[in-house]
């Protein structure tokens, strides 16, 4: 994975998508900065992060992904893989369904995915240095580029969705203390169950991550 570093960007994800569409770059490719001021968040919101934190986006062609990975669960897969890499370095970060990184009861980061033709673009932001009020920062010190190197090596292994999901399903119990936005409503996860493709089963309704 080639990693291109930028001193400052409005959004690594928007810039990467623009460059992919203009055929300036091709997958696999990653854009990284520690100063992003208009990042892409869930449900069309902006991800506001302080300078010095970790902001990156990467692009992979669909044929570079594990064969059993459901496209609707890309955010879970990429987020959990990064959680594994952080955990290996001593962090107690955990993943709240479907794409939020948490330290204890506070969010410290998130992941958003989108498809551009036959290329998946994933954007991730993690508070590694400082955090706004009511948010958390990562509980370990990390070198950004070293972390990204380890993360992309992990993705290169194409760990199966089955393996990722079996571990995420155990950790999902922590998510049941929280709620999520589904459409315009905020819904408790207390009685939710996970389907094998990463969807939420709440009563008779099945809900997929659209992030």
pLDDT (tens digit per residue) in 94-150 = 999 989 999 999 999 999 999 999 999 999 999 999 999 999 999 999 999 999 999
Count H helices and E strands in the chain, helices first: 4, 14
- Integer Cα distance of 211 and 209 in angstroms: 6
Query: pLDDT at position 5, please?
Result: 97
Mode of pairing for the β-strands spanning 179-182 and 94-96: unpaired
Span 160-177, average pLDDT: 95
pTM above 0.85, yes or no: yes
Query: pLDDT at position 43, please?
Result: 45
Closest CA to 39 of 107, 124, 150, 148: 124
| Among 7-16, 62-71, 99-108, 187-196, the least confident range | 187-196
> Higher pLDDT residue, 4 or 37?
4
Residue 163: φ, ψ to 5°: -70, -45
Residue-range domain boundaries for the chain: 2-175
Span 166-194, average pLDDT: 87
Mode of pairing for the β-strands spanning 119-126 and 106-116: antiparallel
Distances, alpha carbon 165 to alpha carbons 11, 51, 68, 207, in Å: 29, 33, 11, 16
> What is the topology classification, in CATH, of domain 2-175?
BirA Bifunctional Protein; domain 2 (3.30.930)
**Given pLDDT bands bounded at 50, 70 and 90, which one contains residue 164?**
very high
Phi-psi bin for 81: left (phi > 0), alpha (psi -120 to 50), beta?
alpha
Give the pLDDT confidence of 54-81 residue by residue, as tens digits: 999 999 999 999 999 999 999 999 999 9
């Amino acid at each position: 994975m080639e990693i291109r570093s930028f001193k400052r960007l409005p959004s690594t994800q928007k810039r990467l998508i623009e460059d992919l569409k203009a055929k300036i770059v091709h997958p696999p490719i990653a854009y990284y900065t520690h100063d992003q001021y208009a990042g892409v968040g869930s449900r069309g919101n902006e991800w506001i992060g302080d300078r010095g934190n970790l902001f990156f986006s990467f692009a992979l062609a669909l044929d570079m992904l594990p064969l059993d990975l459901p496209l609707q669960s890309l955010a879970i897969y990429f987020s959990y893989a990064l959680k594994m890499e952080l955990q290996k370095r001593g962090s107690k970060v955990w993943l709240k369904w479907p794409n939020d990184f948490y330290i204890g009861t506070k969010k410290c980061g998130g992941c958003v995915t989108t498809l551009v033709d036959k290329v998946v673009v994933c954007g991730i932001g993690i508070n590694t240095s400082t955090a706004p009020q009511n948010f958390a920062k990562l509980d370990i010190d990390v070198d950004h580029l070293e972390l990204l190197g380890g993360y992309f090596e992990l993705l290169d292994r194409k760990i199966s969705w089955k393996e990722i999901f079996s571990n995420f399903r155990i950790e999902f119990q922590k998510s049941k203390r929280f709620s999520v936005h589904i459409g315009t409503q905020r819904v408790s996860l207390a009685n939710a169950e996970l389907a094998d493709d990463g969807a939420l089963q709440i009563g008779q309704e099945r809900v997929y991550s659209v992030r």
